[in-house]
């Protein structure tokens, strides 16, 4: 009976350990956070600045501006990623295109530095080209 109880405890602790590891990998790395609230989108959820060119893979470019920050990351539904510094307190991350309106309240940037008036926006992107699979009309 003691062996069974010990085995169950080990199993529960193992599951809890994996949960803690999974949660930690998806959480922001820095104390200060700002949640994406739709900046850079039109009222219909489309990009305000659509920059598509031939051969460009669909993408979204996120920009974080945070006073005196020297490091930042971004958490999206696909995981947490380091942002690249592109100036004093400015960071960028280019993500694969996804419905930007679905990222409102979901995407989070975290950063070190001063917690005052950080801005987290989608600067621009390219949704790609949509192809229609509708059959061509037939002559009647």
In sequence order, what are the beta bridge partners of 59? 96, 126
Buried b (16+ CB within 10 A) or exposed e, 47-61: beeeeeeeeeeebbb
Answer whether 0.85 is exceeded by the pTM.
no
The mean pLDDT value of the chain amounts to: 79
Task: Give the pLDDT confidence score for residue 28 in this predicted structure.
Answer: 67
**pLDDT band of 27, cuts 50, 70, 90:** low
Q: Which of 32, 39, 19, 26 is nearest to 75 (CA)?
A: 26
Q: What is the mean pLDDT of residues 61-72?
A: 95
Domains in the chain: boundaries: 28-126
Asked whether the predicted pLDDT for residue 13 surpasses 80, the reply is no
- Residue 29 to residue 73: CA distance in whole angstroms: 7
Asked whether the predicted pLDDT for residue 111 surpasses 60, the reply is yes
């Amino acid at each position: 009976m003691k062996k069974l109880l010990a085995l169950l405890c080990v199993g529960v602790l193992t599951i809890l350990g994996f949960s803690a590891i999974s949660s930690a990998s998806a959480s922001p790395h820095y104390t200060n956070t700002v949640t994406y609230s739709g900046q850079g989108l039109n009222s219909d959820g489309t990009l305000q600045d659509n920059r598509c060119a031939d051969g460009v893979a669909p993408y979204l470019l996120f920009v974080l501006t945070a006073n005196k920050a020297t490091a930042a990351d971004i958490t999206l539904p696909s995981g947490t990623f380091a942002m690249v510094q592109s100036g004093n307190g400015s960071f960028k991350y280019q993500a694969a295109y996804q419905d930007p309106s679905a990222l409102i309240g979901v995407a989070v940037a975290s950063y070190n530095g001063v917690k005052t008036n950080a801005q987290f926006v989608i600067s621009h992107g390219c949704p790609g080209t949509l192809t229609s699979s509708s059959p061509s009309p037939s002559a009647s």
